[in-house]
Amino acid sequence: MAFPHRPDAPELPDFSMLKRLARDQLIYLLEQLPGKKDLFIEADLMSPLDRIANVSILKQHEVDKLYKVENKPALSSSEQLCFLVRPRIKNMRYIASLVNADKLAGRTRKYKVIFSPQKFYACEMVLEEEGIYGDVSCDEWAFSLLPLDVDLLSMELPEFFRDYFLEGDQRWINTVAQALHLLSTLYGPFPNCYGIGRCAKMAYELWRNLEEEEDGETKGRRPEIGHIFLLDRDVDFVTALCSQVVYEGLVDDTFRIKCGSVDFGPEVTSCDKSLKVLLNAEDKVFNEIRNEHFSNVFGFLSQKARNLQAQYDRRRGMDIKQMKNFVSQELKGLKQEHRLLSLHIGACESIMKKKTKQDFQELIKTEHALLEGFNIRESTSYIEEHIDRQVSPIESLRLMCLLSITENGLIPKDYRSLKTQYLQSYGPEHLLTFSNLRRAGLLTEQAPGDTLTAVESKVSKLVTDKAAGKITDAFSSLAKRSNFRAISKKLNLIPRVDGEYDLKVPRDMAYVFSGAYVPLSCRIIEQVLERRSWQGLDEVVRLLNCSDFAFTDMTKEDKASSESLRLILVVFLGGCTFSEISALRFLGREKGYRFIFLTTAVTNSARLMEAMSEVKA
């Protein structure tokens, strides 16, 4: 049922070391302010901090009270205040307001600002402008790698996507380079590097510079990870915009997995209160169903429940000694498994209710039609109906973006019609969101002559301008041919299936989208690893508009063991989805690889749209 790893699968490195390093560094920074102190934590950092150092550890190092950084006066009576924040200007203004309020009241305290993951010059400038630069001490907590699971590391920087892919802000690229440098310092050099995308290339070059500056640190070390692959999110927006149907992806879409844990409400727990549950490989029930297509999950859970009942029933014929052994050795494990089982059954029921209400089948059918390029008119009508019924502003935007990207932009008539209907249905305040989506290339309008292919442009060079115009018009009147369609054809992203696709025994990565589509990002990784280069993929790279940003760097592999050469670190810049993680885990099982994932943050279609939206929910 679940995806057991192959017996010959390589062992994963131990990433718990990253947690210990982060904890030790934070404790060192806190101890630089000796004595009792109050700690102000930014909301974004609360969940990651909880995974690294819980309240009891902070208390051991003389942290007295904890406060959340929010726009209201601090009620702290401590003589020492410590701020743990992201490097944001609004945080600097908040700290300045507290310090200046103390100055007005004639109160003297010690202040320390700890920036995570790094300090930016702009923040120091604001502190100087506010006249408090000399009153506070500033430090960096270089905490940029949080192990969420045995094979998943997150930088917990959800703002990376908007900052880079919309605003063009490159400040986080240094953070990525520092994180890669830390990994190569701890786990040896990476013999083979591949990447695609402008951001990937910049991060890679900056990381290489760091390696050269500190040359010698990793020299002579045996590599533990044989390959590293850097990939920009904008290389493949389509996968991130699709509805997820693997269990972990659906849980994320429905309940929002935050920092590796999820809040299950009363409708799941069957009691009055919500429960925070950590979702990782330690949860034995979850680990067996996380990568499964949702249609298989209920069957598995009911079988598991029967097996559990059978194990409980064994105690009936036991004598006293056997009963004693059963209670001391097995009962605790069975009770824990029973608790987890009832939680995941509750989660499945809740997902089913929500998806039935939303008419999920019809939605999936429309998405598949968009991916395959069939019934575009019907799909457009479905999106219009979705907008008119005001199902959800985020969902409607997502479907419009999916239509736009798969069709290489909307024809002007459709673009204007959908935009007008959307603004009338959900409000004119969404107008700026459309501007953002256009800038990011997610929702665009075709310009006349946009659809010129390479052949057409060559033909037009051979004839006069007037004739070229006529040729262009002729081509424009033909069916619109998008890059996504061409890439999809080149990489065989839409599998040809005779009869029904068997989701119980998947044959390829397409199972993560019910057999309708192989994630483009995962297919690129598969093809490059097979070839050990971008050779033979020139046309794909050109269609992705990444001709200048696809790179390979291979060093001698004499030090790399065959074990390490089957370990691949995939770095997603701008976020990765649980569907992509499940697809690559499947590929690893098929080919004998093990994939490790490093992402700026785990994302999904809703988070992507929210990052682009100017209307805050």
For residue 564, what is the domain's CATH number? 3.40.50.1910
As a whole number of angstroms, the distance between CA 579 and CA 253 comes to: 11
Is residue 497 one of the residues assigned to a domain? no
Condensed to tens digits (0 to 9), the pLDDT of residues 387-413 reads 999 999 999 999 999 999 999 999 999
Q: Are 303 and 284 in contact (CB under 8 A)?
A: no
Report the CATH number that the domain containing residue 307 is assigned in CATH: 3.90.830.10
| % of residues, the chain, pLDDT over 90 | 58
Is residue 260 one of the residues assigned to a domain? yes
pLDDT of residue 478: 37
Is residue 156 one of the residues assigned to a domain? yes
Write down the H helix ranges in 358-482: 360-372, 376-388, 393-406, 412-426, 431-440, 454-462, 465-477
Report the CATH number that the domain containing residue 96 is assigned in CATH: 3.40.50.2060
Is residue 510 one of the residues assigned to a domain? no
Q: How crowded is residue 320: how many other Cβ atoms within 10 Å of its Cβ?
A: 7
pLDDT of residue 452: 45
As a whole number of angstroms, the distance between CA 246 and CA 294 comes to: 5
pLDDT of residue 560: 63
Same domain, 155 and 78: no
Is residue 376 one of the residues assigned to a domain? yes
Same domain, 320 and 361: no
Least confidently predicted of 4-8, 247-251, 458-462, 609-613: 458-462
Structural domains in the chain (count): 4
As a whole number of angstroms, the distance between CA 334 and CA 520 comes to: 41
Condensed to tens digits (0 to 9), the pLDDT of residues 306-342 reads 877 766 656 666 666 656 565 565 655 667 777 888 8
Instruction: Please work out, in degrees rounded to the nearest 5, the angle formed at the alpha carbon of residue 50 by the alpha carbons of 44 and 53.
Output: 125
Is residue 500 one of the residues assigned to a domain? no
As a whole number of angstroms, the distance between CA 212 and CA 519 comes to: 35
Residue where a domain terminates, one of 102, 119, 142: 142
Q: How crowded is residue 7: how many other Cβ atoms within 10 Å of its Cβ?
A: 5
Q: Is the pLDDT of residue 580 over 90?
A: yes
As a whole number of angstroms, the distance between CA 346 and CA 344 comes to: 5
From residue 70, give the alpha-carbon distance in Å to each of 100, 108, 583, 600.
16, 22, 40, 25
pLDDT of residue 518: 95
Domain that holds residue 575: 146-235+518-610
Condensed to tens digits (0 to 9), the pLDDT of residues 496-514 reads 877 778 888 888 999 999 9
Same domain, 339 and 368: no
Same domain, 250 and 278: yes
Same domain, 351 and 362: no
Is residue 453 one of the residues assigned to a domain? no
Condensed to tens digits (0 to 9), the pLDDT of residues 56-105 reads 898 888 888 888 888 777 778 889 999 999 999 999 999 999 999 989 98
Tell me the pairing of strands 192-196 and 550-554.
Answer: antiparallel
Same domain, 28 and 135: yes
What is the pLDDT confidence band of residue 214, given thresholds at 50, 70 and 90?
confident
Report the CATH number that the domain containing residue 376 is assigned in CATH: 1.25.40.850
Condensed to tens digits (0 to 9), the pLDDT of residues 435-467 reads 999 999 999 998 876 544 444 444 444 544 445
Least confidently predicted of 177-181, 479-483, 529-533: 479-483
Same domain, 258 and 195: no
Q: Tell me the average pLDDT across 227-255.
A: 95
Same domain, 130 and 151: no
Same domain, 318 and 383: no
Is residue 460 one of the residues assigned to a domain? no
One-letter identity of residue 245: V
One-letter identity of residue 496: R
Residue where a domain terminates, one of 447, 472, 500: 447
As a whole number of angstroms, the distance between CA 534 and CA 194 comes to: 8
Same domain, 197 and 186: yes
> Phi and psi at residue 595, in whole multiples of 5°?
-100, 140
What is the pLDDT confidence band of residue 558, given thresholds at 50, 70 and 90?
low
Residue where a domain terminates, one of 113, 142, 171: 142
Q: Are 44 and 72 in contact (CB under 8 A)?
A: no
Same domain, 296 and 397: no
Q: Tell me the average pLDDT across 543-561.
A: 78
Least confidently predicted of 8-12, 151-155, 406-410: 8-12
Closest CA to 61 of 99, 22, 24, 13: 24
Same domain, 314 and 401: no
pLDDT of residue 498: 73
Q: Is the pLDDT of residue 257 over 50?
A: yes
